[in-house]
Amino acid sequence: MADALKHLQEQLHVNMERQGLIQLVESKLDAFKSATTAQVNQVKSAAKRKAKTLVRRHHSEEYAAHEEITGDILKVIAEYKESTVAAAAVRTEELLQAFSKCNETVQAPAVTTDQNSDPLRGVSPAQVDCLSNVTSPAVSDQGNDDVDDDDDDDDDEEDSSSSSSSSEEEKQTSNQDTPVVIDSSTLELLQMLRAAQAITQPPKPDRQALEKVSRAEQRKVAAGANARARNLTDKKKRASSQKPKETAMSAHQKLMLQAKLTTEARKTKKKKAEDALKKKKAEDAFKLAELLLKQML
């Protein structure tokens, strides 16, 4: 009996030790599990934060690139419009300067080949003197070429000098127009003067060409706006297909983008109004130039 009791006590003691060891191992396992789960949760949260930052950075880069592209397009359109308006303004200034010069100068008369008509009718005495001074060297050169008729040339020169002196006296005594006999070189010079004045007269502005340019510019602006709208919609579709789930931050970004788009639309509208005003000023300048040309003609 005593041996059996002793044996039972030993077994009980062994069982108690085993249970203590089991509890210790279980506690260690629980501590290890809790530590590993905490580490895993930390890693997961860090990975989620990193993924969110990457997605936000990607969206911000896309929006920045889109804004840069739209800004460049608007800048190019504005520069093109400014260049066209500036060219039109320069052209109007040139026309006005040419008109003022034409008003200051005296137009040459039409030269006729009829012997009875006066080729210098309506020409001022200053122009006659200038033409005679210009043509005198040519006449002297022609006289030097004729070596055989030296005496005849001297007589002709004396006769021409006497006739010129008499014509000057007649001009001083009377203010009426008198027929003047001129040679072929003077007639050619008058024709050259008329041709030069015809060349220097600026051409009339063509309304059809201006309307074509304005229509082409309007079509280009509309095509650019449509292309920008299509690109924006395509980018929005790609971004919506690529990004995972909509968050509060993406909604805020959408609101910011909508506000930026509204501001850009206002700016473009204001710029269009300014361009229309500049175009109207240019058209008014062209109309003024046409009126001046009609008055001159």
Angle between helix axes 2-104 and 248-296 (nearest 10 degrees) is 10
What integer is the mean pLDDT of 64-75? 86
CA distance 221 to 225: 6
Q: Is the pLDDT confidence value at 168 over 50?
A: yes
- Does residue 135 contact residue 189 with C-beta atoms inside 8 Å? yes
172's tokens:
């001083």
Q: What is the pLDDT of residue 14?
A: 78
Which 3 state secondary structure label does DSSP give 159? Answer: helix
Flag the least confident range among 18-22, 121-125, 288-292: 121-125
**Tens of pLDDT, residues 171-209:** 555 444 444 455 565 666 666 666 665 555 555 556 676
- Does residue 281 contact residue 92 with C-beta atoms inside 8 Å? no
Flag the least confident range among 7-21, 65-79, 90-104: 90-104
What confidence category does residue 7 fall into, taking pLDDT thresholds of 50, 70 and 90? confident
**What's at 63, amino acid-wise?**
Y
CA distance 121 to 36: 117
Q: Is the pLDDT confidence value at 122 over 50?
A: no
CA distances to 110, 116, 134, 174 from 178, in Å: 17, 13, 21, 9
In whole numbers, what is the pLDDT of the chain averaged over residues?
Answer: 69
Q: What is the pLDDT of residue 104?
A: 64
Measuring CA to CA, which residue among 34, 84, 101 is closest to residue 212? 84
Place of tokens 């003047």: 180
What integer is the mean pLDDT of 40-62? 88
Q: What is the pLDDT of residue 205?
A: 55
Q: What is the pLDDT of residue 200?
A: 56
List the chain domain ranges. Answer: 1-33, 60-105+203-296
CA distance 106 to 194: 11
Q: Is the pLDDT confidence value at 70 over 80?
A: yes
Give the max Cα distance, the chain: 185
Angle between helix axes 207-242 and 248-296 (nearest 10 degrees) is 170
**Tens of pLDDT, residues 213-265:** 777 877 888 888 888 888 888 887 777 776 555 455 567 777 888 888 888 88
Q: What is the pLDDT of residue 190?
A: 66
Q: What is the pLDDT of residue 126?
A: 46
**What's at 93, amino acid-wise?**
E
